[in-house]
Structure 1
Amino acid sequence: MGFYLRKRSSQTGLAPGTIVYGGVPRTEAPTLQLITYDLENLEERRIEDLDDIHHTPGKVMWLNVNGVHDEALLTRIGQRFGLHALGLEDIASTLQRAKVDEYTDHLFITLRMLGDGESRVAFSEQVTLAVGSNFVVSFQEMEGDVFEAVRRRLRESIGRIRGAGPDYLAYALMDVIVDDYFRALEGISDDLEALEDSVQERPPEDTLPRLRRLRSKLIMMRRVAWPLREAASRMLSGDLALMQRETQPYIRDLYDHIVQIIDVIESLREVGGSIHDLYMAAISNKMNEIMKVLTIIGTIFIPLTFIAGIYGMNFVNMPELQWPYGYPVAMGVMAAMAVLLVLFFRRKGWL
């Protein structure tokens, strides 16, 4: 976040629409994949030169751009598809909130896709969909995405996606991103359940660090999901010319999924709070048990120390010190008192 703020502050005074990359520095070259399709045919290829992109009437183009750090490439893509400069500026600024921006003949949909691998939901990357009358251009920060299910549906002509327009393709891409939120939340839920079980049995030493990591992931997902609900609500409003009426029921279903995700996030946050309270209670109980044992031991030794203290006084006239049985009698009395105290504590249920 600090890097992003420093990057933003360096843009002060620039003209609106100036493309300045604001993400993590990258050196790899961006890659472009183009899928052109209609109900009957599909062509899929890698693009090396934007001049190789030619639109065929009646077909939908989906250009997927991996890497938004090449500012010159973003400018050329914007010129090729007639994209607004302000939208391109937001694409390069990679910490945008989820939103929908409409321009004359196209719109930009911004949302966040979760990271893959063992570090799942430890980070998210910005995805922007530029939707026109016959194209969708998806921009993502790096290689790797959750769009393979959509590609398979296109290749195998599953469902209505091949016969629908670019607005439905944009919905399908958003849908798989949102579905991935559910999978991430399921993993967090499993981790919280395992952590709760371990706390109830015997709290491990790393409970608090693990809980903090899980709660930070939930906070991150909350920041991702809440603005997305507003964006989906905007798409349902009916004032976006490119969103066809036939696509509205699917957008409504997407909106419902986002609301469910937010509900699950809030529920899991409450579970995390409950686990924290349970852990603190377990630690407190453990400390109380230790203090109880120490108190009982101290209580047992109080009368023994009293007897030892009496016979440790340096008075000249102490007849018991000259008695042959003084030592064994004193030890016997001390042992008897210790046993009686232990029996008393057991009878009271303190041991």
Structure 2
Amino acid sequence: MSLKHQLTQSTFESILTDLEWIEGRASAPAGVLTQYCPKNVDRQPVSGVADLRDKSCDGITWLNWSGLGETSKMAKLFEHYGIHPLTAEDILNCESRSKLEESSESLFVVMKIPVSMEEVGVIEAVHFCLFWQGNTVLTFSEIPLKFLTDLDRRLDDPKRKIRSHGVDYLVWALLDLVTDHSLRFVEHLSDRVEEIEDQLIDDEVEIEMETIHEIKNEVTQTYRLIRPCREITAQLSSSDSVAMGENTARYFRDLHDHAAEAVEQVDHLRDKTASLRELYFTLMSHRMNGVMKVLTSLSAIFLPLTFLAGIYGMNFAHMPELGLRWAYPVFLVFLVSLAVVLAIYFKKKGWL
């Protein structure tokens, strides 16, 4: 297995797949409540408000909730944490646009996470929301996000920074995982575009125009989903929120760099997929020209042979060559020799 294939496979395994999207949409709404401080981490599953502990906690509280289908259960959850009805509406509305709302008491972020549905050639968007108030962080998503398990591993390690930093560091860590997933997704999309480009150049592989059209649509959809992340992270990197520490501000500036890199890469892919159409038509024209050149050369070879055969096919009584004993085999040898000479000449000229 080549190094490039290993990297491509690793990138693909780290992003959300169409199977996880389908299974996640069918799963029951549930969450995990994590409360931690520098000394310990406590984690418990949550299926409703009844499973929640008292909001007051000396450490940091993070509720990671997946599934937005049961409105009544979600309403109780919003009421428990004092979430404004308009904010709750944005959380439940999976079609709401990506945005950042910041106040003196809270921070609310809506982002879209791309998922490739390769069987149908479209990009689905996972609705992801983050709400931060005091020492509590709430995350909501349509489906379980497997890449958030990396944050659980970091929390379980007492040597990691996240245990000793404030809640603003947790917010950065969550948004950083979402942004990194988008960046890996763009890398996976870039690998697919390069693969199609290599197949276009390879004469032994035939690519349909539909394939190029599908990948162009996927790149366009991905750009539409990821582009707002750059504006969101830019606002966060320049935020003067009191709750955001000076040291953490450096991490948010780095987060903006990652988001900007993802947008720049997918913007480059937009130009590249547009050029794939031009490359496709250019190669098709080149191959057609090659076929026409061969057919023209063959026609040029058989044209004098057809002319000579036509002469001796005329029904004139006085044609002296017809009376000779070896006229027929000599004529055939002459025709074959003429065809060979013309073929060699055209081959040297590069026409065959």
* TM-score bucket of the superposed structures, by smaller chain: 0.7 to 0.9
- Once residues 197 and 115 of structure 1 are traced to their aligned partners in structure 2, the CA distance between those partners, rounded to angstroms, is 24
Q: Which residue of 2 aligns with 1:139?
A: 140
Residue 90 of structure 1, CA deviation = 1.2
- Once residues 153 and 216 of structure 2 are traced to their aligned partners in structure 1, the CA distance between those partners, rounded to angstroms, is 35
Distance 1:175 1:121, change over 3 A: farther
SS in 1 for 2:143: coil
Residue 285 of structure 1, CA deviation = 2.9
Distance 1:253 1:342, change over 3 A: same
Q: Which structure exhibits the higher relative contact order, with contacts defined as CA atoms closer than 8 Å and separated by 6 or more residues?
A: 2
Instruction: Please tell me whether the aligned partners of residues 129 and 141 of structure 2 are also in contact (alpha carbons under 8 angstroms).
Output: yes
- Once residues 267 and 203 of structure 1 are traced to their aligned partners in structure 2, the CA distance between those partners, rounded to angstroms, is 28
Which string of whole-angstrom CA distances, capped at 9 and with x for unpartnered residues, describes residues 34-78 of structure 1?
001222232100123413321234222111111011111221111
Question: More deviation in 169-178 or 196-205?
Answer: 196-205
Instruction: Please tell me whether the aligned partners of residues 106 and 132 of structure 1 are also in contact (alpha carbons under 8 angstroms).
Output: yes
Q: Which residue of 2 aligns with 1:130?
A: 131
Distance 1:203 1:212, change over 3 A: farther
- Once residues 234 and 137 of structure 1 are traced to their aligned partners in structure 2, the CA distance between those partners, rounded to angstroms, is 20
- Once residues 95 and 48 of structure 2 are traced to their aligned partners in structure 1, the CA distance between those partners, rounded to angstroms, is 28
- Give yes or no for the alignment of 1:80 onto 2:91: no
Task: Return 5+ residue gaps in structure 2 as ranges.
Answer: 1-22
Instruction: Please tell me whether the aligned partners of residues 167 and 243 of structure 1 are also in contact (alpha carbons under 8 angstroms).
Output: yes
Task: Return 5+ residue gaps in structure 1 as ranges.
Answer: 1-23
Distance 1:48 1:212, change over 3 A: same
Distance 1:163 1:178, change over 3 A: same
Question: More deviation in 245-254 or 334-343?
Answer: 334-343
- Once residues 194 and 333 of structure 2 are traced to their aligned partners in structure 1, the CA distance between those partners, rounded to angstroms, is 55
- Once residues 338 and 270 of structure 1 are traced to their aligned partners in structure 2, the CA distance between those partners, rounded to angstroms, is 49
SS in 2 for 1:228: helix
Q: Which residue of 2 aligns with 1:67?
A: 67
- Once residues 216 and 189 of structure 2 are traced to their aligned partners in structure 1, the CA distance between those partners, rounded to angstroms, is 9
- Once residues 71 and 154 of structure 1 are traced to their aligned partners in structure 2, the CA distance between those partners, rounded to angstroms, is 31
Distance 1:158 1:258, change over 3 A: farther
Distance 1:158 1:190, change over 3 A: farther
- Give yes or no for the alignment of 1:191 onto 2:192: yes
Residue 279 of structure 1, CA deviation = 4.3
Q: Which residue of 2 aligns with 1:56?
A: 56
Q: Which residue of 2 aligns with 1:102?
A: 102
Residue 183 of structure 1, CA deviation = 2.2
- Once residues 338 and 318 of structure 2 are traced to their aligned partners in structure 1, the CA distance between those partners, rounded to angstroms, is 26
Q: Which residue of 2 aligns with 1:29?
A: 28
Q: Which residue of 2 aligns with 1:40?
A: 39
- Name the amino acid aligned to 2:36: Y
Q: Between the two proteins, what is the percent identity of the paired residues?
A: 32
- Name the amino acid aligned to 2:297: I
Instruction: Please tell me whether the aligned partners of residues 302 and 339 of structure 2 are also in contact (alpha carbons under 8 angstroms).
Output: yes
Residue 308 of structure 1, CA deviation = 1.9
- Once residues 213 and 131 of structure 2 are traced to their aligned partners in structure 1, the CA distance between those partners, rounded to angstroms, is 37
Question: More deviation in 210-219 or 255-264?
Answer: 210-219
SS in 1 for 2:231: helix
- Name the amino acid aligned to 1:181: S
Residue 179 of structure 1, CA deviation = 1.2
- Once residues 116 and 303 of structure 1 are traced to their aligned partners in structure 2, the CA distance between those partners, rounded to angstroms, is 59
- Once residues 47 and 245 of structure 1 are traced to their aligned partners in structure 2, the CA distance between those partners, rounded to angstroms, is 34
Q: Which residue of 1 aligns with 2:351?
A: 350
Distance 1:104 1:182, change over 3 A: closer
Residue 347 of structure 1, CA deviation = 4.1
Q: Which residue of 2 aligns with 1:236?
A: 237
Instruction: Please tell me whether the aligned partners of residues 134 and 166 of structure 1 are also in contact (alpha carbons under 8 angstroms).
Output: yes
